[in-house]
């Protein structure tokens, strides 16, 4: 098959891009031809198709909205990308003409590429499969979070709560603009152009149905980890806890730091914690460092910059446990899949996709979200129970192979592409 992959970034900035490069690799390895459409950023990985990439909203080195210069042209382009971009439609149409795809696999596109990509694909008669990478179709804030706590007021399709609470960038004005764009997209029926939506876990499928999406338009295909580098190596010299991922308020890192403070009071010398990842907003990282220093954890917690996926594999393989203290529902994070593939115990928040995936005490440990004492208790439990540690290290790889293998993912995904192609 000739498959067109679409995502608004072609470099790793989040789990969505980790998945993009993973699936691109396994598709090519299986003999499929792929092309990519994205935005022309300086950070992009090399691509044979970069000549077709559309222009960014601001400069090529400005990826995030808060980085954009305050200029009338930037504002105009931001609004176009929020509602509908003729420029993106034209650029994508050129690539479609050159590549002639059998189907398109669309990932992140809202607010940076706009639904114009769906129109360009439909005009060319290309079947459209959209992977749901977060809760952006259901929640303006994308995480169902408000003031650090879960909020599902907009789940039934309502737009007003997000405006009232200023959920987008903490601004009622920006939230109102976002709500207007969402109303426009629904009014024009852009999402009806999609042949099938791919969810990554049953919890997300349930949320999409509650949000008004028809069950027969949803196909659950779990994500996978790179099994060639995330492999079991045994406990070895494991001597630290690990968090690897974005430094973002939705990730609950304050809970993890506070749990470490509890462990230090109880144990005197707790295991080290390595926090590996970069922030979208540097002030947030500085706030986490200050919180750690205030708790007297300079000798326990180390903040480290993002590393390549091969280095993540090395970090994971030598960890006592991977900790995922998220405050939001998550979307079956890569860090979870990579950890169980490597046979490393996972301690995670008991909510959303993680609660649905993990059987507490059998293939992972769950704790009450936002509760540092409960998290500290899970860490102590794992440290003091060698049988539990061994059980979790055995169960993880079995679960990864049974439910989250690249082979299973590829089979389900290509079967879906064949189905939507045949239906057209």
Residue 268 sits in the same domain as residue 205: no
Tens place of pLDDT for every residue, the chain, 424 residues? 999 999 999 998 888 999 999 999 999 999 999 999 999 999 999 999 999 999 999 888 888 777 777 778 888 899 999 999 999 999 999 999 999 999 999 999 999 999 999 999 999 999 999 999 999 999 998 999 998 888 999 998 899 999 999 999 889 999 999 999 999 999 999 999 999 999 999 999 999 999 999 999 999 999 998 888 999 876 667 789 999 998 999 999 999 999 999 999 999 899 999 999 988 778 999 999 999 999 999 999 999 998 888 899 999 999 999 999 999 999 999 999 999 999 999 999 999 999 999 999 999 999 999 999 999 999 999 999 999 999 999 999 999 999 999 999 999 999 999 999 999 7
Instruction: Identify the bridge partners of residue 199 per DSSP, sorted by sequence position.
Output: 220
Q: Is 140 among the domain residues?
A: no
Q: If you compute the radius of gyration of the chain from its CA atoms, what whole number of angstroms results?
A: 22
Chain mean position to CA 410? 19
Provide the number of structural domains found in the chain: 2
| Residue-number span of the structural domain to which 72 is assigned | 2-133+195-224+406-423
Q: Is 270 among the domain residues?
A: yes
Q: What is the CATH number of the domain that holds 302?
A: 3.40.50.2000
Residue 412 sits in the same domain as residue 365: no
Global confidence as pTM: 0.91
Residue 207 sits in the same domain as residue 272: no
Both tokens of 356, joined, read 């649905």
Q: Is 87 among the domain residues?
A: yes
What per-residue string of b and e applies to 165-194 under the rule 16 or more CB within 10 Å gives b?
A: bbbbeeeeebbbbbbebbeebeeeebeebb
Residue 346 sits in the same domain as residue 411: no
Residue 395 sits in the same domain as residue 414: no
Residue 204 sits in the same domain as residue 329: no
Classify residue 166 by its DSSP letter.
Answer: T
CA distances from 60 to 18, 64, 117 (A): 21, 11, 20
Residue 99 sits in the same domain as residue 116: yes
Q: Is 143 among the domain residues?
A: no
Q: Is 154 among the domain residues?
A: no
Q: Is 146 among the domain residues?
A: no
Residue 327 sits in the same domain as residue 379: yes
Residue 300 sits in the same domain as residue 391: yes
Residue 284 sits in the same domain as residue 220: no
Q: Is 286 among the domain residues?
A: yes
Residue 374 sits in the same domain as residue 413: no
State whether residue 143 is helix, strand or coil. Answer: coil
Residue 273 sits in the same domain as residue 307: yes
């Amino acid at each position: 098959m000739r498959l067109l992959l679409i995502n608004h970034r072609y470099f790793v900035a989040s789990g969505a891009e980790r998945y993009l490069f993973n699936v691109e690799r396994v598709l090519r390895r299986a003999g499929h031809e792929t092309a990519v459409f994205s935005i022309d950023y300086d950070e992009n990985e090399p691509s044979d198709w970069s000549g077709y990439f559309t222009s960014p909203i601001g400069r090529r080195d400005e990826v995030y909205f808060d980085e954009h210069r305050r200029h009338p042209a930037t504002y105009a382009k931001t609004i176009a990308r929020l509602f509908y971009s003729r420029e993106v439609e034209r650029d994508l149409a050129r690539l479609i003409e050159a590549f002639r795809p059998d189907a398109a696999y669309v990932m992140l596109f809202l607010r940076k590429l706009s639904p114009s990509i769906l129109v360009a694909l439909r005009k060319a008669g290309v079947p459209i499969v959209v992977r749901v990478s977060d809760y952006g179709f259901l929640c303006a804030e994308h995480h169902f979070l408000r003031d650090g706590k879960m909020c599902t007021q907009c789940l039934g399709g309502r737009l007003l709560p997000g405006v009232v609470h200023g959920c987008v960038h903490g601004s009622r004005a920006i939230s109102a603009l976002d709500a207007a764009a969402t109303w426009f997209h629904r009014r024009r029926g852009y999402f009806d152009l999609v042949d099938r939506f791919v969810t990554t876990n049953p919890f997300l499928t349930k949320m999409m149905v509650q949000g008004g999406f028809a069950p027969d338009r949803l196909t659950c295909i779990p994500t996978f980890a790179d099994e060639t580098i995330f492999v079991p190596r045994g406990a070895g010299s494991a001597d630290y806890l690990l968090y690897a991922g974005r430094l973002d308020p939705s990730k609950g890192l304050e809970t993890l730091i506070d749990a470490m403070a509890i462990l230090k009071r109880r144990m005197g010398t707790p295991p080290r914690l390595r926090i590996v990842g970069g922030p979208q907003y540097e002030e947030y990282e500085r706030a986490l460092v200050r919180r750690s220093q205030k708790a007297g954890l300079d000798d326990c917690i180390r903040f480290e910059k993002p590393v390549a996926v091969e280095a993540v594999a090395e970090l994971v393989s030598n960890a006592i446990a991977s900790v995922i203290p998220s405050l939001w529902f998550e979307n079956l994070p890569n860090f979870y899949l990579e950890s169980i593939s490597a046979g490393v115990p996972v301690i995670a928040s008991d909510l959303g996709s993680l609660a649905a995936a993990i059987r507490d005490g059998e293939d992972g440990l769950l704790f009450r979200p936002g509760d540092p004492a409960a998290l500290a208790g899970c860490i102590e439990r794992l440290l003091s129970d060698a049988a539990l540690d061994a059980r979790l290290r055995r169960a993880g790889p079995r679960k990864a192979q049974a439910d989250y293998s690249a082979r299973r993912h590829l089979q389900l995904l290509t079967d879906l592409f064949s189905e939507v192609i045949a239906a057209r």
